[in-house]
Structure 1
Amino acid sequence: MPSTATSIEAYLEEIPEERKIAFTKLRETILKNIPKGFVEQMSYGMIGYVVPHSIYPNGYHCDPKLPLPFISIASQKNFLALYHIGIYAMPELLNWFVFEYPKQSKQKLDMGKSCIRFKKIDQIPFDLITELVQKISVDEWIKTYETQFKQSK
């Protein structure tokens, strides 16, 4: 269920105490490693990392008033989640992640199309998340987005 928080600070205050350390480390991992150009902001009731309109004026095809989304993180009811649209859009990135995950985590990979669920917050593979976040530049993401999503509309 998305948060109604209107700021990152308000969102962080809503996170249950037992998840704050892991969530903060996940956020810091992204902030330290995401390529230049992505911006952190509230997006769809989560903390999102987006391509701002100053770089990609067309915005998101579903709602051009919104910036182009890329990654989001959320504290859901039963898990922490990392939503990475690049994994959904780029089969080679998905294959890489699925191959590398068991090398860095004893937990079985629990994921949907773009959602990676972490039910055991003490076993989040932060080094793997670091690598994942670094793999796609803003320019690469825009190119992928335009070929994979925008044309199909």
Structure 2
Amino acid sequence: MQSKATTPEQYLEELPEDRKEPMLKLRQVILDNLPSGFEECMNYKMLGYVVPHSVYPDGYHCNTKLPLPFMNLASQKNFIAVYHMGIYANPELMEWFTTEYANRVKGKLDMGKSCVRLKKMDQIPYDLFGELASKMTAQEWIDLYEANLKR
């Protein structure tokens, strides 16, 4: 879904009916578990959870006008996508997530480098995404981001 929304609330209002409940639940579990230092905003035309410039003035190296992205949540054409940059950058976190997902959900994990594709709305492990959101502080993410950037 390519959105022209300028706020998270507007983005959520535009969702098709079948996506509203799962997207609202995912958003809430992320907000409930995200450590301080992160901020919700619109980022890349989807819900974004970022380290704002007030915490990390350098911003994102690809476009320093943007805050440092951490997580994103989007309603795509055929699935809901949860993007988490930490699982892409931290192999131990990736291992934890893939193991926990397999323990909680029947069926195969559909995942790219940082993108988890959720196609079955009745099988979303909301608690797992809450735990994932809580696994890294803003400062830990900044440190990991900078360490990977310098490689």
TM-score greater than 0.5 by the shorter chain = yes
Deviation, 1:4, is: 1.8
| Structure 1 match to 2:71 | 71
| Structure 2 match to 1:130 | 130
1:53 is the counterpart of 2:58: no
- Matching residue's letter, 1:39: E
| Runs of 5+ consecutive residues of structure 1 not aligned to the other structure | none
Which runs of 4 or more aligned residues in structure 1 lie more than 6 Å from their structure 2 counterparts after TM superposition?
Answer: none
After superposition, give the CA deviation of every residue in 1:16-51 in whole Å (9 maximum; x if it has no partner): 101111110000000000001100000000000000
Q: TM-score, normalised by structure 2?
A: 0.97
Please give the alpha-carbon distance, in whole angstroms, between the structure 1 residues aligned to 2:9 and 2:42.
10
Q: Among the aligned pairs, what percent are the same residue?
A: 60
Q: TM-score, normalised by structure 1?
A: 0.95
Please give the alpha-carbon distance, in whole angstroms, between the structure 1 residues aligned to 2:2 and 2:85.
17
Aligned length: 151
Please give the alpha-carbon distance, in whole angstroms, between the structure 2 residues aligned to 1:107 and 1:122.
12
1:91 is the counterpart of 2:91: yes
| Structure 1 match to 2:101 | 101
RMSD: 1.0
After superposition, give the CA deviation of every residue in 1:71-107 in whole Å (9 maximum; x if it has no partner): 0000000001100000110111111111111111113
Deviation, 1:5, is: 1.3
| Structure 2 match to 1:31 | 31
| Runs of 5+ consecutive residues of structure 2 not aligned to the other structure | none
